[in-house]
Amino acid sequence: MASTFGVTRRLDLLDPHDVSALGGIELVAEGVVEGFLSGLHRSPYRGFSVEFAEHRPYQPGDELRYLDWKVVGRRDRLYVKQFEEETNLRATLVLDASRSMAWSGDPEHRLTKLDYATRLAAALALVLLRQRDATGLIAFDERVRCAIAPRARAGQWHAVARALVDLEQGGGERTAAEGALARVTDLLRRRGLVVLLSDLLVDRELVLLALRYLRHRGHQVMVFHLLDPAETELDASAEARFVDPESREGVVAAPRELRREYRATVERAVAAWRHALRSSGIAYHRVSTDTPFGYALRRAAAGRARLG
């Protein structure tokens, strides 16, 4: 939490660029998650809740710190506190680290899509691990760049956070080759929750095939479609040169003449992704890189609750 003039500010509700200026990935994620969890009691979304629900008899392997000694004293039997959503979920965050993600339409005021994704991924990992869900990370561009198997052990979140920092410092290649996605699906053998964070500037049919395959194998799948505001709305400059961040090919055009057609094209593409994914039982969330991290976390909580 940050405090100014005695007023506590929830970092999960502030501008992502401003929050990221406070420190590195770990510090930002911790602040965002503290704010997010503090607001859960006012939220209808309980997908990431760890609130006390009831007691159950002690079983070998249960952590002793959850023994309720008052109940033990009254009943002369061992009981532990059970928490809501105590599912021992296996979750894997799958991050697109390709070249197109390393872009911002306004670098002085907005994070790149990759910077936003790494901080959101770190926050998601921290929330999942705090509720004792095994959590891992896979990052890819043309190849799988890192793969951390889901674990719920001490130190797992710091391992994930360090890998995310390394991804930011590296230079991504072109987006998801077929071999990389095949490798990703091969790594996800044990069913669980799969969260893809990507700008979806990829081969749509290839990605849909991979995600539907994961659903067929029993995974819950959630997609965060990350977009910079400049990708959805052209500015009004008289003439500009547009460059593909991956192929480096460019074209000169007048945005004023293209704005309406461009906006319609983007909305059609977004609608096509949304329909294709949701009709396949995959949760879809469109997230702008100027959206506070807390709102994205709430969408994840709501999406997980619907996925069941």
Q: Which two tokens stand for residue 39?
A: 């607001």
Which among 39, 63, 83 is the end of a domain?
A: 83
Quick one: average pLDDT of 140-151? 93
Same domain, 97 and 79: no
102 located within any domain = yes
39 located within any domain = no
pLDDT score recorded for residue 257 = 67
pLDDT score recorded for residue 240 = 67
Same domain, 180 and 72: no
Strand segments, DSSP code E, in 70-187 are 79-83, 90-96, 134-140, 144-151
Answer whether residue 276 shows pLDDT above 90: yes
Same domain, 135 and 191: yes
Quick one: average pLDDT of 100-128? 96
Same domain, 102 and 228: yes
Same domain, 234 and 149: yes
Domain span at residue 106 reads: 90-307
Same domain, 181 and 57: no
155 located within any domain = yes
Same domain, 165 and 288: yes
pLDDT band at residue 262 using 50, 70 and 90 as cut-offs: confident
Same domain, 73 and 141: no
13 located within any domain = no
Quick one: average pLDDT of 42-55? 49
Same domain, 58 and 161: no
Burial state string for 207-233 with b = 16 or more CB within 10 A and e = fewer than 16:
bbebbbebeeeebbbbbbbbbbeebee
Which among 83, 98, 127 is the end of a domain?
A: 83
Same domain, 299 and 174: yes
47 located within any domain = no
pLDDT score recorded for residue 46 = 44
pLDDT score recorded for residue 53 = 47
28 located within any domain = no
| DSSP conformation class of 245 | T
Instruction: Return mean pLDDT, the chain.
Output: 83
Same domain, 69 and 184: no
How many domains does the chain fold into?
A: 2
**Which of residues 304 and 19 earns the better pLDDT score?**
19
Which among 44, 68, 83 is the end of a domain?
A: 83
Helix (H) or strand (E) holding 251: strand 250-253
Closest CA to 145 of 114, 182, 185, 180: 180
User: For position 275, which CATH number holds?
Assistant: 3.40.50.410
Answer whether residue 3 shows pLDDT above 70: no
Which residues sit opposite 52 in a β-bridge? 83
Closest CA to 169 of 143, 212, 139: 139
Answer whether residue 55 shows pLDDT above 70: no
Quick one: average pLDDT of 84-110? 86
Same domain, 271 and 287: yes
45 located within any domain = no
Answer whether residue 51 shows pLDDT above 80: no
In the chain the first and final C-alpha atoms are separated, in Å, by 31
Question: pTM, whole model, 2 decimals?
Answer: 0.80
26 located within any domain = no
Answer whether residue 5 shows pLDDT above 50: no
